[in-house]
Amino acid sequence: MSRIVDIQLDDSGLPPPTPEIEQERKVAMFDLLEENAFSLPEREGREVPSGPFKLALSIRDRRLVFAVATEDDTEAAEFQLSLGPFRQVVKDYFQICESYFNAVKNSTPGQIETIDMARRGIHNEGARVLQERLEGKVIVDTDTARRLFTLICVLHFGV
């Protein structure tokens, strides 16, 4: 499987993220570039580039846009996903993250751990939804889907 070597988020036109959201974005981007699995499937018998890839994520006309290029900036693929299937899981994720950030300030370690386990569960659900939506377009492993889901949440923050 190939990989992503550069990722860009187009967050122009979105409200400035909270410090917590900005930290989530930085961690997700760092982790994604450190380790990921990302490849384009063969389509209609056409040859597809094997990567490594550059990925640009944006929201355009209320749709999530994936623009994939090779390392030398040759366009490899572009596709759009409806934000609809992500709305509830993103909303749940933001709510549980807010609870987690508040718990870190005021709660016992046991309470924090319980909320963190719930947060991971919702994060896993978001990654699963993303993998389903990417089927036939991109092949990613679970960890890559989790990190991409975090970046989608960051972009979704202002929508």
3 pLDDT more than 80:
yes
Confidence band for 23, pLDDT divided at 50, 70 and 90: confident
- pLDDT confidence of 157, banded at 50, 70, 90? low
- Tens digits of residue pLDDT in 59-89: 888 899 999 999 999 999 999 999 999 989 9
Range of the domain at 54: 4-156
d(CA 92, CA 54): 29
How far is the C-alpha of 158 from the C-alpha of 18, rounded, in Å?
11
Measure Cα distances from 145 to 121, 129, 140 in Å: 14, 9, 6
Is the model's pLDDT at 143 over the cut of 90? yes
Model confidence over 93-135: pLDDT tens digits? 989 988 988 898 999 999 999 998 999 999 999 999 999 999 9
Place of tokens 């990989």: 3
* Helix, strand counts (H, E) of the chain: 4, 6
Per the structure, the count of domains in the chain is 1
